[in-house]
Structure 1
Amino acid sequence: MPATRDDLMACFRDLGIEVSTVDHQPVFTVAESGDLHDRIPGGHTKNLFVKDKKGRLFLIVALHDAEIDLKKVHQVIGAQGRVSFGNADLLMDVLGVEPGSVTPFSLINDRDTLRVTPVFDAAMMQHEVLNYHPLKNDATTSITAQDLLKFARACGHDVQVLAVSEQAKAAAL
């Protein structure tokens, strides 16, 4: 059984991570979440669940307005060939969430098999506070960037912080 929001919050408490959560109507796309950006401070984000031609899985997490070239991102993240989106069944099987609810917090459901490589965009990690769905798209949980890394590592994942967005690449120049 995938972790629930209560399981996630218990994990944060066990790790000494303070978060705040705002409940809202379900949002399925970045475009639908516009008014939340005004109500909830911090960096708002998007999550891309992708696989390479060898079946390796990646969770790319970036700011909501980040431009990510899916034809070239494989060169940055170390994928074998171009990446494509993982389907809904694979997403549920590996991360225990549905499309529209993808979040780095879903790494809690990949603690045993460690099938996913999390990739956090360097530009996103410059924000002190970041916002993600707590496993369902009817709420937004705020967490510090450092605590996000702490959480991912506690789930057994070796996070890659890389310049995957055009914004992060420009900032690196």
Structure 2
Amino acid sequence: MTDMAAETAPAPKPEDRAAQIAAAIAAQAQIPTSPDQLFARLAELGIATRTVDHDPVFTVEESRHLRGELPGAHIKNLFLRNRKEEMWLVTVEEERRIDLKALGQKLTGTTGGDAKLSFGSAERLMQYLGVVPGAVTPFAVINDKAGKVKMVLDRHLTEIDPVNAHPLVNYKSTAIAPADLVKFLEAEGHKPQILDLD
């Protein structure tokens, strides 16, 4: 359950990792919606989830080693933008390789310049989704009250139960049924575009 921008980052040295963890936890203490507030919203919607705590994870590789044996789909999340300032949060199965050029054409319906995608900055990520890099998650749409970010789900994820996602912080993982994830996204005004991303 990581964001793709961090997928290929080199593993930090042990002393650097301790500093990285401390900085991440401090940054995540400032997010606009806490995991407990998210869980309350899910309960309000009648959605059951299961959450486990683990060491903070920053890459797909770290996630595989530190999350433990969690059944179901594990994801990575791409926070993307184009030159027209359109933004997308794309959630895919963690093993899926994504061609950004082809994805841009799918998302914009064009082969023009507005189809070129780039990753959103950490500042933009916090501004629109209220999370820090490494904690990107479909649950973050709870913070996008203005509906500026379009939500995209890999169709493959709708066929695996449960889907595991960070609950706004990267030191917890929450398992949710795919139908309930869609229910949550719709309730937050972010009905997902479900795409075949093979």
Residue 76 (structure 2) pairs with residue 46 (structure 1): yes
Per-residue CA distance 1:6-30 (angstroms, 9 max, x = gap): 1100001000000000000000011
Aligned residue among 65, 74, 86 for 1:56 = 86
Rounded to whole Å, the distance in 2 between the matches of 1:37 and 1:126 is: 22
The one of 61, 73, 85 aligned to 1:31? 61
Q: Which amino acid in the other structure matches residue 122 of structure 1?
A: R
**2:122 paired with 1:88:** yes
CA contact (8 A) 1:37 1:44 kept: no
Amino acid across the alignment from 1:94: Y
Structure 1 residue 158 displacement after superposition: 2.1
Secondary structure in 1 matching 2:115: coil
In 2, Cα distance between the equivalents of 1:87 and 1:163?
26
Alignment partner, residue 17 of structure 2: none
When residues 101 and 35 of structure 1 are mapped into structure 2, their CA distance, relative to the original with a 3 A threshold, is same
Q: Does 1:16 align with 2:15?
A: no
**Aligned residue runs from structure 1 range 1-173, under 5 A:** 2-35=32-65, 39-78=69-108, 80-110=114-144, 112-164=145-197, 166=198
Structure 1 stretch 79-88 or stretch 52-61: which is displaced more? 79-88
Alignment check: 8 A CA contact 1:125 1:145 kept = yes
Larger radius of gyration: 2
Instruction: Please state how far the C-alpha of 1:35 moved relative to its aligned partner.
Output: 2.9
Could you tell me how far apart the structure 2 residues matched to 1:107 and 1:162 are?
18
Normalised TM-score (structure 1): 0.91
Supply the distance in 2 between the matched residues of 1:26 and 1:113 (Cα, whole angstroms).
29
- The two structures have a TM-score, normalised by structure 2, of 0.80
Q: Secondary structure at the match of 2:100?
A: coil
Structure 2 CA distance, aligned partners of 1:29 and 1:115? 26
Q: Which blocks of at least 5 consecutive residues in structure 1 are unaligned?
A: 167-173
The 8 Å contact of residues 96 and 109 in structure 1, kept in 2 or not, is answered as: yes
| Aligned alpha-carbon RMSD (Å) | 1.3
Paired residues, number: 164
